[in-house]
């Protein structure tokens, strides 16, 4: 529509001076709409009368538009402009806005020559801004947009949507949330205070954040009262309890540290227990307290507070953490190690049995008290037996104010729910697998992976679909000749009726393309034999439209899961046949509808009584994000077997910036490889289209395609996306794009990968004790070559030479090679070294040098003793850790207790290497060392056939374990102890600290007399370095016994 704009002076003007312009640009109409309309008609008549219409094919409308815009044939006081592809004459002084660009302001002005000229000015919105709780959003027809409130403001503080904060004045918890119309609002929740202990004295009650608490550390314990009365440390066993723990708060600069109390009850438990009710058929039942799903296969587990992972401890730096560990295990001891805490002030809290403390006996409680000095992502776990692999682990996150975070600018949110604890998973207790592997022909290969204790057993699901597809092919194809050589994908879905109140659509089935078949060997030395190279299995998620086609017979998946479990006891699928009557019986029963009662060692799902456990309904871990924001993820590797994990997220880049609690220069990567004991922090930018994306875990080494092809997934869910699973293919062979950080068994210099040694630490660590610039001087004070491999030796526990040594006539699957450091297996003493250090003579210790001086050649004999390296306090120590790599193509992560270290070198020289070669390279200065800002870690991998060099200042006095973090290796002695400083330089033993020792009285002793005096003067005794079975060590053991006897005699004389 055209609008007539009158002259600003409202004087009569000739027709040629009348200006027309498009309505949207006219804001100065000076007449009423009716008057303007009449004037327009009159003007049209005048124009038509003065200039008749042309009829040479031009429409009447076009002529009218042309006439409307013409005032003079050759104007000298107008600008000729184009608006919406129409030529328009603008009078001098006219101003208008372009309909195509709201930021372009047009005007008709005279140039220096006095000629009319169109001038365009751009508005850069430099003076346009919004309040701190609002953001600029685009608006149609507006140049600078409009301000939209997107955050909450409370007492001059601004909070993001989803952020919570405490109001100490009125004891409420506030949350910034969104109304249905998208406007932010503040929800307020009244805080619920825990009850005071009934036995807390009035003088020990104090008020903090509007609640009253009891100073439990000062409460005298009554040995005769019931433990349940100790309410101040009896936790509620739910994830919500620990998320809302008073110590899980926003850390403030110069804030007062808190004393944070927790109770850990360690006990045997079960996956899919009765606490799960109808899970997974009713998906909401899977979220019930005490319900641990695992991957859907029932098995016995060991857990803390009936949670897996266990309780998350999330505190601020310099808080004091107090954890009462109650051992409710049946006849089994335990300890808890705080992985990442260096225990500078209290080394007795490190949690290593027989090194820093005695094991916690059943029916007893041990209190751990320590300061959370090292900020970052850490975790706690059992340091006893296979308990870590059975579920005794959890996150330990030490935060600091975001303003003090070196990379705080990289992310918008650091949420508790964005922790990611990954673990390898088997379907029997870890000690059962350990015994089968070392004493029989069982394997040591993880069957599956879990994320925060959740996952699906895709191998069993795939086997089910494969079997159904084969049956479908047989039923549809009448003869062999008509079968196609190429198998087509077959859609299999479930007809199982499920009741669910969850918003998320459960996983319903898989489409597969069959390309491969894999055997599962039971020993590292026997690689798997695979079929055709192009056979690879991909799993595809199904949508709801295919559900009606799935056919699953009664208890089929349950039987299949039990069949899959049988794989870990077979050397390969080709060796099954008819090896034993029992196995034959099992195989036959798996083909029938009945399950024999004498099927010993196979899983029996409890829900098989009422129906099968639908493995495809087992819930996956889901992480929620909102598009446009950046999130910090905390990755923790709690594995206990040799299964490095590669993690990636579909269509997303990972910005890695921290490992083991220490920041490094941020790097964008496509995937991260993490080894047992490592932690990584990375940022995920939610910048992709709203949807659901797979978070993928791929197992390497003992989990790779030679063995179990273990993989797992979680879901990255964007706010606003449908509640369904991603549609992209699932499978082990998925390869993410981009750089691979911390690549396995690779050295530096690759374009598609980065080793941990190739990243740069931040300068802030140049003044941190233990890892400062002093630790990077050209030559260390002490240098140790620590080399290892799997050695063919008659281990007296697993291969007694007189009965079934390594050279006995047996299958390769029954032989166990021994991993050792410098050909020495660590023997743990009967006492706890740190608290009993004054009762243990240093002559009890051994190492490669001391044994050589005594004429003992551990390369030829099996050696097991108290392997200790001693260094002075504050000395600079360099460890050159070498993987000789002759026996297996393996990989070992090593963890140092009590100190972080700099990774100054890492290289793979070939398939294998010898310590002599490394020493020779070092003599010629050919070992590469980076002494300029090398990364800081406490757990690092050693490439097979290569080396890793670590440096640190031994500033923390005590006895500290250095060990492989693969539990099967550490438990049989792949470790050593680093003694830092002299005994009198170490922290004094806490009062009434527990002791442990051997009790070996002589036959002539009167056991009934002087027992109290004996106990008071001999709280611990030393044990010999070995069991005496090795003739080469026997004389050494006798000398050690003599020394121990002298020490005992001196103690007795001292008592008189």
Which alpha helices (H) appear in 113-238, and where do they start and end?
none
DSSP at 781: S
DSSP code string of 544-600: GGGGGG----TTHHHHHHHHHHHGGGSS-GGG-TTS-HHHHHHHHHHHSS---TT-T
Q: What distance in Å separates the CA atoms of residue 1054 and residue 163, rounded to the nearest whole number?
A: 64
3-state DSSP call for residue 293? coil
Asked if residues 106 and 98 have their Cβ atoms less than 8 Å apart, the reply is: yes
Distance of CA 147 to the CA centre of its chain: 38
Q: Are residues 461 and 579 part of one domain?
A: yes
Q: What distance in Å separates the CA atoms of residue 972 and residue 766, rounded to the nearest whole number?
A: 37
465 within domain boundaries: yes
Q: Are residues 728 and 776 part of one domain?
A: no
3-state DSSP call for residue 203? helix
Q: Are residues 395 and 300 part of one domain?
A: yes
Domain of residue 175, residue span: 136-189
Q: What is the mean pLDDT of each run of 10 residues along the chain (1056 residues)?
A: 38 39 40 48 48 44 45 64 85 84 85 87 75 83 83 86 72 79 81 64 68 56 36 66 91 92 96 95 92 96 97 97 96 97 97 98 97 97 97 98 94 95 97 95 95 94 79 65 39 34 40 37 39 41 38 40 45 39 42 39 42 85 96 98 98 98 98 98 97 98 95 97 94 94 94 96 96 96 97 94 88 90 97 95 93 94 97 98 92 97 96 95 95 98 97 98 97 97 96 94 66 45 39 43 50 53
> For residue 820, what are its two tokens?
């050792």
Which alpha helices (H) appear in 728-821, and where do they start and end?
801-804
Q: What distance in Å separates the CA atoms of residue 1026 and residue 1028, rounded to the nearest whole number?
A: 6
CA angle 192–196–200, rounded 5-degree value: 165
Question: Smallest Cα–Cα separation from 181: which of 156, 148, 135?
Answer: 148
> For residue 810, what are its two tokens?
């047996």
> Left if phi > 0, otherwise alpha if psi is -120 to 50, otherwise beta: which for 183?
beta
414 within domain boundaries: no
Q: Are residues 248 and 140 part of one domain?
A: no
DSSP code string of 657-684: EEETTEEEEEEEESEEEE-TT-EEEEEE
3-state DSSP call for residue 438? helix
Q: What distance in Å separates the CA atoms of residue 738 and residue 650, rounded to the nearest whole number?
A: 11
Question: Smallest Cα–Cα separation from 755: which of 763, 769, 745?
Answer: 745
Q: Are residues 385 and 244 part of one domain?
A: yes
pLDDT for res 142: 78
Question: Smallest Cα–Cα separation from 681: which of 718, 647, 716?
Answer: 647
- In sequence order, the 6+-apart residues with CB closer than 8 A to the CB of 513 are 487, 489, 536, 537, 538, 540
Asked if residues 352 and 337 have their Cβ atoms less than 8 Å apart, the reply is: yes
Asked if residues 935 and 765 have their Cβ atoms less than 8 Å apart, the reply is: no
- In sequence order, the 6+-apart residues with CB closer than 8 A to the CB of 1054 are 1017
Question: Smallest Cα–Cα separation from 415: which of 648, 660, 714, 163?
Answer: 163
> For residue 96, what are its two tokens?
């208008």
Q: What distance in Å separates the CA atoms of residue 953 and residue 775, rounded to the nearest whole number?
A: 5
pLDDT for res 325: 97
The count of C-alpha atoms lying within 13 angstroms of the C-alpha of 611, restricted to the half-sphere facing its C-beta, is 10
The count of structural domains within the chain is: 7
Backbone φ, ψ for residue 859 (5° rounding):
-70, -25
pLDDT for res 1016: 43
Residue 992, judged by CB atoms within 10 A of its CB (0-12, 13-18, 19+), counts as exposed
Q: What distance in Å separates the CA atoms of residue 309 and residue 200, rounded to the nearest whole number?
A: 32
3-state DSSP call for residue 66? helix
> For residue 632, what are its two tokens?
């910090």
Asked if residues 773 and 766 have their Cβ atoms less than 8 Å apart, the reply is: yes
Q: Give the CATH number, domain containing residue 652.
A: 2.60.40.420
Cα dihedral across residues 902, 908, 912, 915: positive or negative: negative
Q: Are residues 348 and 273 part of one domain?
A: yes
Q: What distance in Å separates the CA atoms of residue 626 and residue 685, rounded to the nearest whole number?
A: 10
Q: Are residues 808 and 720 part of one domain?
A: no
Q: What distance in Å separates the CA atoms of residue 217 and residue 320, rounded to the nearest whole number?
A: 12
pLDDT for res 1053: 53
Q: Are residues 874 and 780 part of one domain?
A: yes
Helices 458-476 and 556-566: angle between axes, nearest 10 degrees? 120
Question: Smallest Cα–Cα separation from 398: which of 493, 497, 453, 319?
Answer: 319
Please list the residues that pair with 668 across neighbouring strands: 655
Do the strands 78-83 and 19-22 form a parallel or antiparallel pair, or are they unpaired?
A: unpaired
R_g (Cα) of the chain, nearest Å: 37
Residue 598, judged by CB atoms within 10 A of its CB (0-12, 13-18, 19+), counts as exposed
Q: Are residues 1032 and 948 part of one domain?
A: yes
Asked if residues 639 and 422 have their Cβ atoms less than 8 Å apart, the reply is: yes
Q: Are residues 743 and 810 part of one domain?
A: no
50 within domain boundaries: yes
Helices 33-50 and 60-69: angle between axes, nearest 10 degrees? 100
Q: What is the largest CA-CA distance in the chain?
A: 141
Which alpha helices (H) appear in 110-264, and where do they start and end?
239-243
DSSP at 813: G
416 within domain boundaries: no
728 within domain boundaries: yes
Question: Smallest Cα–Cα separation from 634: which of 418, 430, 445, 932?
Answer: 418
Q: What distance in Å separates the CA atoms of residue 720 and residue 691, rounded to the nearest whole number?
A: 8
347 within domain boundaries: yes
Q: Are residues 43 and 152 part of one domain?
A: no
130 within domain boundaries: no
425 within domain boundaries: no
127-146 as b/e: b if 16+ CB within 10 A: eeebeebbeeeeeeeebbbe
Q: Are residues 536 and 524 part of one domain?
A: yes
Backbone φ, ψ for residue 876 (5° rounding):
-90, 125
């Amino acid at each position: 529509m055209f609008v007539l704009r009158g002259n600003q002076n409202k004087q009569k003007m000739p027709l040629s001076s009348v200006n027309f312009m498009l309505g949207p640009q006219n804001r100065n109409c000076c007449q009423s709409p009716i008057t303007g309309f009449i004037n327009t008609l009159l003007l049209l008549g005048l124009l038509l009368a003065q200039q008749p219409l042309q009829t040479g094919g031009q429409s009447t409308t076009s002529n009218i538009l042309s006439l409307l815009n013409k005032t003079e044939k050759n104007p000298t006081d107008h600008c000729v402009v184009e608006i919406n592809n129409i030529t328009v004459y603008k009078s001098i002084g006219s101003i208008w806005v372009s309909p195509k660009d709201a930021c372009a302001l047009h005007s008709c002005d005279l140039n220096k020559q006095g000629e009319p000229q169109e001038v365009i000015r751009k508005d850069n919105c430099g003076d346009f801004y919004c309040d701190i709780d609002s953001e600029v959003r685009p608006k149609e027809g507006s140049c600078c947009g409009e301000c939209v409130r997107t955050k909450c403001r409370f007492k001059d503080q601004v909070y993001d949507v989803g952020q919570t904060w405490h109001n100490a004045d009125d004891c409420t918890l506030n949350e910034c949330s969104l109304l249905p119309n998208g406007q932010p609002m503040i929800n307020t929740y009244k805080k619920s205070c825990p009850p005071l202990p009934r036995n807390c004295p009035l003088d020990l009650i104090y008020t903090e954040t509007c609640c009253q608490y009891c100073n439990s550390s000062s409460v005298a314990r009554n040995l005769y009262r019931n433990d349940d009365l100790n309410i101040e440390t009896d936790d509620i066993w739910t994830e919500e309890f620990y998320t809302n723990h008073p110590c899980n708060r926003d850390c403030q600069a110069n804030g007062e540290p808190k004393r944070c109390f927790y109770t850990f009850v360690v006990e045997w438990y079960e996956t899919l227990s009765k606490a799960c009710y109808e899970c997974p058929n009713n998906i909401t039942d899977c979220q019930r307290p005490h319900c641990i799903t695992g991957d859907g296969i029932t098995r016995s587990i060991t857990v803390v507070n009936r949670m897996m992972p266990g309780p998350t401890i999330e505190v601020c730096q310099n808080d004091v953490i107090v954890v009462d560990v109650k051992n409710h295990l049946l006849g089994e001891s335990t300890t808890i190690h705080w992985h990442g805490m260096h225990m500078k002030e209290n080394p007795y809290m490190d949690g290593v049995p027989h090194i820093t403390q005695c094991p916690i006996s059943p029916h007893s409680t041990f209190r751990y008290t320590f300061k959370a000095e090292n900020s970052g992502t850490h975790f706690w776990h059992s340091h006893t037996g296979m308990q870590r692999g059975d579920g005794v682990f959890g996150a330990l996150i030490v935060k600091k104010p975001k303003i003090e975070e070196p990379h705080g600018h990289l992310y918008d949110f650091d949420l508790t729910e964005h922790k990611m604890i990954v673990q390898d998973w088997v379907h029997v207790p870890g000690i059962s697998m350990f015994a089968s592997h070392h004493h029989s022909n069982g394997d040591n290969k993880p069957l599956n992976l879990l994320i925060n204790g959740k996952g699906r057993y895709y191998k069993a699901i795939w086997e089910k679909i494969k079997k159904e597809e084969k049956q479908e092919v047989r039923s549809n194809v009448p003869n062999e000749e008509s079968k196609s050589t190429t198998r087509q994908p077959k859609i299999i879905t479930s007809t199982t009726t499920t009741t669910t109140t969850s918003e998320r659509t459960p996983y319903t089935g898989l489409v597969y393309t069959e390309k491969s078949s894999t055997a599962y060997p039971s020993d590292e030395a026997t690689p798997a034999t695979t079929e055709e190279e192009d056979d690879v299995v991909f799993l595809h998620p199904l949508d709801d439209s295919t559900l009606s086609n799935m056919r699953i017979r009664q208890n089929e998946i349950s039987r299949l899961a039990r069949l899959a479990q049988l794989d870990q006891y077979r050397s390969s699928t080709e060796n099954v046949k008819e090896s034993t009557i029992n196995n034959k019986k099992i195989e036959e029963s798996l083909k029938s509808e009945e399950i024999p009662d004498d099927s010993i060692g196979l899983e029996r799902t409890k829900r098989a009584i009422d129906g099968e456990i639908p493995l495809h309904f087992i819930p996956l871990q889901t992480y929620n994000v909102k598009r446009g924001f950046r999130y910090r993820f905390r990755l923790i590797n709690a594995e206990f077997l040799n299964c490095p994990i590669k993690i990636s997220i579909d269509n997303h880049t990972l910005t890695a910036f921290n490992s083991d609690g220490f920041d490094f220069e941020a790097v964008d990567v496509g995937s991260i490889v993490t080894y047992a004991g490592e932690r990584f922090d990375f940022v995920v930018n939610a910048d992709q289209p709203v949807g659901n994306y797979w978070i993928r875990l791929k197992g390497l080494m003992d989990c790779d395609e030679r063995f179990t092809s273990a993989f797992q997934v979680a879901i990255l869910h964007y706010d606003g996306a449908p509640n369904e699973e991603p549609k992209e293919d699932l499978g082990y062979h998925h390869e993410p794009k981009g750089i691979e950080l911390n690549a396995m068994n690779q050295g530096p210099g690759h374009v598609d990968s980065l080793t941990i040694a190739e990243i740069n630490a931040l300068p802030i660590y140049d003044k941190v004790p233990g890892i400062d610039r002093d630790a990077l001087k050209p030559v260390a004070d002490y240098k140790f070559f620590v080399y290892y491999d799997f050695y063919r030796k008659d281990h007296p526990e697993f291969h007694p030479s007189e009965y079934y040594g390594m050279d006995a006539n047996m299958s390769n699957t029954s032989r166990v090679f021994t991993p050792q450091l410098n050909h020495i297996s660590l023997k743990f003493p009967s006492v706890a070294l740190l608290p009993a250090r004054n009762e243990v003579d240093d002559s009890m210790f051994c190492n490669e040098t001391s044994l050589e001086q005594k004429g003992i050649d551990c390369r030829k004999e099996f050696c097991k003793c108290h392997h200790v390296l001693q260094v002075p306090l504050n000395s600079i120590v360099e460890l050159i850790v070498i993987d000789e790599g002759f026996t297996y193509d393996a990989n070992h992560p090593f963890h140092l207790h009590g100190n972080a270290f700099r990774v100054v070198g890492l290289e793979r020289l070939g398939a294998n290497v010898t310590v002599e070669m490394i020493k020779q390279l070092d003599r010629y200065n050919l070992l590469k060392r980076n002494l300029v800002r090398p990364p800081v870690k406490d757990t690092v991998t050693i490439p097979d056939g290569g080396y890793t060099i670590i440096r640190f200042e031994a500033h923390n006095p005590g006895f500290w374990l250095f060990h492989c973090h693969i539990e099967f290796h550490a438990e049989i002695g792949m470790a050593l102890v680093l003694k830092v400083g002299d005994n009198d330089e170490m922290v004094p033993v806490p009062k009434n600290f527990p002791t442990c020792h051997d009790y070996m009285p002589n036959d002539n002793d009167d056991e009934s007399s002087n027992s109290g005096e004996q106990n008071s003067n001999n709280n611990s005794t030393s044990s010999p370095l070995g069991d005496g079975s090795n003739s080469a060590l026997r004389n050494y053991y006798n000398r050690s016994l003599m020394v121990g006897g002298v020490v005992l005699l001196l103690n007795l004389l001292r008592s008189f």
